[in-house]
């Protein structure tokens, strides 16, 4: 099941990062209706986006600000996957571009993505799940 989870996460994130807009039909088929998203900003503010509506609102807002692609998807355990994503952010008012990478821990249960948590680096993500010091 874990390799299947890697493929589910890969397809889900590729659909989320699709340009000019996300592939919502694929997202709806792969993400659980009660999916929880903890973005880097929400982790700082102590919140999360819940369900398809919250994820869709986050994608619609964030997709205007950055371009991203999927670089690597790796199994962590039977339910969790690490996804590495290089991202190019462009300031709305300045037009300045900044390139960065972020990592997501994505949890899959019953063939659906149920949680996505974003981190500033793969080290930070692995530390959060107890696999790094």
Residue 133 forms part of a structural domain: no
Residue 106 forms part of a structural domain: yes
Tell me how far apart the alpha carbons of residues 80 and 5 are, in angstroms, rounded to a whole number.
8
Residue 48 forms part of a structural domain: yes
Is the model's pTM score more than 0.85? no
* Nearest residue to 123 via CA among 112, 115, 131: 131
Please give the tally of structural domains in the chain: 1
2-51 pLDDT, tens digit per residue, is 789 999 999 988 888 777 777 888 988 998 989 888 776 665 666 666 77
Place of tokens 């986006």: 49
Where residue 117 sits, what CATH number does that domain have? 3.10.450.50
103-130 pLDDT, tens digit per residue, is 889 999 999 999 999 888 888 888 888 8
Residue 85 forms part of a structural domain: yes
- Domain extent at residue 95: 2-128
């Amino acid at each position: 099941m874990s390799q299947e989870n890697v493929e589910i996460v890969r397809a889900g994130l590729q659909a989320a990062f699709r340009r000019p807009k996300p592939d919502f039909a694929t997202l709806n088929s792969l993400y659980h209706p009660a999916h929880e998203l903890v973005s880097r900003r929400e982790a700082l503010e102590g919140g999360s986006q819940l369900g398809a509506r919250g994820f869709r609102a986050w994608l619609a807002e964030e997709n205007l600000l950055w371009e991203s692609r999927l670089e690597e998807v790796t199994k962590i355990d039977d339910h969790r996957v690490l996804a590495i994503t290089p991202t190019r952010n462009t300031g709305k008012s300045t037009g300045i571009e900044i390139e960065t990478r972020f990592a997501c821990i994505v949890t899959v249960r019953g063939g659906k993505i149920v949680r996505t948590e974003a981190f500033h680096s793969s080290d930070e993500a692995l530390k959060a799940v107890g696999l790094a010091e």
